[in-house]
Each structure stands twice: as structure tokens, then as C-alpha cells.
Amino acid sequence: MDSIKYYLYFLLGKLRHQYFMQLPENDEEYKSSRIWFIVDGATAVTIGALIGGAFLAALLRALGISDSLNGIISAIPSLACIMQLLGLELAKRMRKIKLFVCVFAIIHRLLFAFLFFIPFLPIGLAFKVVLCIIIFLLGHVLGQLIAPVAGNWISSLVPEDIRGKYFANRDGIMVFVSVVISLGAGQAFDKLKMWNAPDLKFLFISLLILVMAIINFIALSIVKEPKYSFCSKDHKEMHGSLVKKRMHPADCMCQEDFKSTFKKVVSNKPFRTSIILTVLWQSAFFFSTPYFGIYQISDLGLSYTYIMIMGFVGSMIRIILTPIGGKIADKKSWALVLEVSLLIMGIAFVINGFTVPSNAHIMFAVFSVLTGIAWAGIAPGIFAIQLDLAPDGDKTAYLGINAAIMGVCGFISSLVGGYILHLVIEMNNQIMGYTIFGQQLLSVGSGILFLILTLYIRYRIKARLGAS
């Protein structure tokens, strides 16, 4: 009995050291942590690709969900961003956030693995639909709880003078890993759906997500956390009973209430430009993209393999150009890189509005190439500008509130897009005597919003950052 108790204390001590007492002590440990954060990002982005787009559309279609509802469900990740506000409040009460991030990361990704197992459950179709929506929503809610905290964690490991290069390289590696795995998953999808048990393709995705989730958890557990807990007068970190002995209760409980934090963030003029930027971005993106997956499969007749191949081509272009964008940003500014990238994205979405079944393959190829070019600057650019405009010392609160606001706006935008799509479907896709799919109109609408956003960057963001 004593030996069991000894080993239990030993295990708890190891866990405590792993998740509460691992401070990076030199440049090599900072570098190693940044590398493991790349592994975290690669697996997280891969899981994101597997639970979205054509794969999610296939699952929802198998459950008999309509096109418009399919898109609204696909936009749930945007709405879930509001949960970052709760994540902020939880983070305020934690001196160490590593365990919080690791635990919620593995839980919400295991939920996604279970999501694709739902078709095999011995329950009615209606219950499967309800369970699918609940699991998808809950998974993203838990993921958004840790998003601002994890963002602040990684920013604390990356010096400002190498952020452009690091985030560009990290983004390139993440995309490469995700598209390679997604390409293989797409080929497996097309082969498995021809078998006598076509639902096996969902089991394959479920197991793949499970593997990625385990790797992700291991990577996050290895990353060290620069954030200090309570410190003694001689600036040494304290834990457990030492805190109770040496710290005054008032020092442990001093926290700013949410109302004051929210007011502080939205009243900060420099950062308010970041909020407007991300709201416009999220609204433009979610106005149409949640409805692309089912459109590509059902109306355009594209195979999963072709969709993934084009995604691979676009992503390879993104990987090649992302480091170049990072270098330009370090020399010039991320505002310049983002302006050009969003202009290209806007053109891509307008062109995509002319995609119909007869030209689907060539038009989707053009769209994939242009968006691949655009994503090279958009993904790292928006995050970098948020970091630049958020004041030092409380970036977690600023990033979290910003994400919550833009998430709600993005979901509202997707509802507007879904309503327009529903109206077009009710009109049998006939507008003024022409056959026009609702997704075409939504794509053009997104393109126009992206072009408006480029003007905002030129005349507001550049001025705020002092860029030329």
C-alpha cells in the first residue's frame, strides 16, 4: 500500500513539474518550445481541415441535412469564438495556463474524432443529426476557450524581431502537413465510398483525427511556459504551500472585472482598428465559404480527390510565398502584405462566382491558385497586426475579446448568406431568366467585401501602424 502511495506521489510530482514548473531557461529551450509549437500547429490545422469543408459536408449530407443548414452548421466555429470571453475570465484566475490548454486541447479534439463515428451509432437518424450538431458545437466551444490563452503563450516564446519569419515558416509547415494528409484522406474517401460499406470513410477520418489529437497533446506538453506563477521577494517562483505562507491574500485575488476589461479593449483607439479589420475579414469570409463544401460535391460534381489535389496545389503556392511575405513584412509592414493579399483574395472570390458545372474543374483550379497566393499573407498577417496593436502586458484579453466580437459578426454574416441561399433555392436557381446558384451570388458578395477591406487597410491600418 505504501509503495502504491509512493508511486502516486511520484507521478503527481512529475505531472506538477511538467505542467507547472517548466520555465525556459535559455535560448535553446525557447527555440525548442517554438519548434514544438509548430508541431502543435501542424496537427491542429490538419484536424481543422478534416472537420471542415468537403469532409464535413459529406458527413452532414449523409445525415440528410439541407444545403442552407449545412452552411450554418459549418459556420459554428465562428460563433464559438464568443467563448473566448469565458476563456479570458478563466485565464485571469490561473497563474499557469499550460495544463489548462493541454487538457482542453485533447478533449475538444477527441470530440471531433467522435463526430465522424456518429454514423455508426445504433440510434435514429434524427438523434444522429442532433448529436452531430451538439458535438460539433461543443468541440469548437472548448477549442475557443483556450485560443486566446494559447495565442498569448506562443507570443511569449517568440521575440518581436523574428515574429515575421517565425510565423511565416510555422504557417508554411502547418499548411504543408495538413494538405498532404488531407490529400491522402480525400483519396481514401473516394475509394472507400465505392465499397459495400461506404460509411467506413467516416471511421477512417475519425481514427486519423484521433492520431493527430494524441500527437498534438504530446507536443503541447513538451512546450515550456515562460509565464511566472507567484514570485518571492528574491524573484524566485513559488508554488503550493509557499504561496500561502508568503503571499498576502489581496495579492492573489486582485483581478479586473470583465466589464472593465471589455471597456478598456473597445475604447483603445489603436486596437479598435484591429477589431474592425477582423470583423470585416470574418464577415467577408463566412458570408460564402460555409456553403462551398456541399456545392462542390453535389452541384459541381467534383470528386474529393480533385478537391484535395487543388487544395494541395494552392497550399504549396502558399508555402512557397509565405516566407517571402514574412521577409517583406519584416522590412516593410504586415499591413502592406495584408492589403495585397486581401486584394487577390477578393479577385479570387469574384472569379469563383462564375463557376458552374460546365467549367467547374478549371475555375476551381484558378480559385485554388489565387487563394493560395492570398493566404500566404492573410493567415500570418492578421495575427501579427493584432499582436502589434494590442498593448504589451495584457494581449490575451485583447485577442480574446477581438476574437469573440469578430466571431459573432462572422456567424451573423453566415446567417445572412444562408438566407440568401435559401431564397435562391426556392426560386429553383432562376434569376431574371438565368440559372444562377446561390453560392455564386455569395461568392461575389464575399469578393466585394474583401475589396472594401483592402481600402480600410490602406487608409486606416497603415496610418495606425505608421506604415508607408
For 1-24, how does the pLDDT look when each residue is reduced to its tens digit (9 = 90+)?
667 776 676 566 666 656 665 676
Q: Break the chain down into helix, strand, coil percent, rounded to 5.
A: 80, 0, 20
From the list 389, 452, 384, the residue with the least C-alpha distance to 158 is 384
What tens digit of pLDDT does each residue of 406-415 get? Answer: 888 988 998 8
Q: Residue 468: its pLDDT value, please?
A: 38
What tens digit of pLDDT does each residue of 351-384 get? Answer: 999 998 889 999 999 999 999 999 988 888 888 8
pTM to 2 decimals? 0.74
Confidence of residue 214 (pLDDT cuts 50, 70, 90): very high
Q: Report whether 94 contacts 204 (CB < 8 A).
A: no
- Nearest-angstrom CA–CA distance, 49 and 151: 20
What tens digit of pLDDT does each residue of 49-80 get? Answer: 888 877 888 888 888 887 777 778 888 888 88
- Residue 442, CA distances (Å) to 277, 296, 299 in order: 20, 14, 15
What tens digit of pLDDT does each residue of 118-172 get? Answer: 988 888 888 888 999 899 989 988 888 888 778 778 877 888 778 777 877 887 7
Alpha helix ranges (H) inside 193-266: 200-222, 241-246, 249-253, 258-266
Mean pLDDT of the chain: 82
Q: Residue 114: its pLDDT value, please?
A: 93
Q: Residue 242: its pLDDT value, please?
A: 47
- Nearest-angstrom CA–CA distance, 368 and 377: 15
Domains of the chain, first to last: 26-225+262-465 (1.20.1250.20)
Which helix (H) or strand (E) is 437 found in, with range? none
Q: Residue 280: its pLDDT value, please?
A: 92
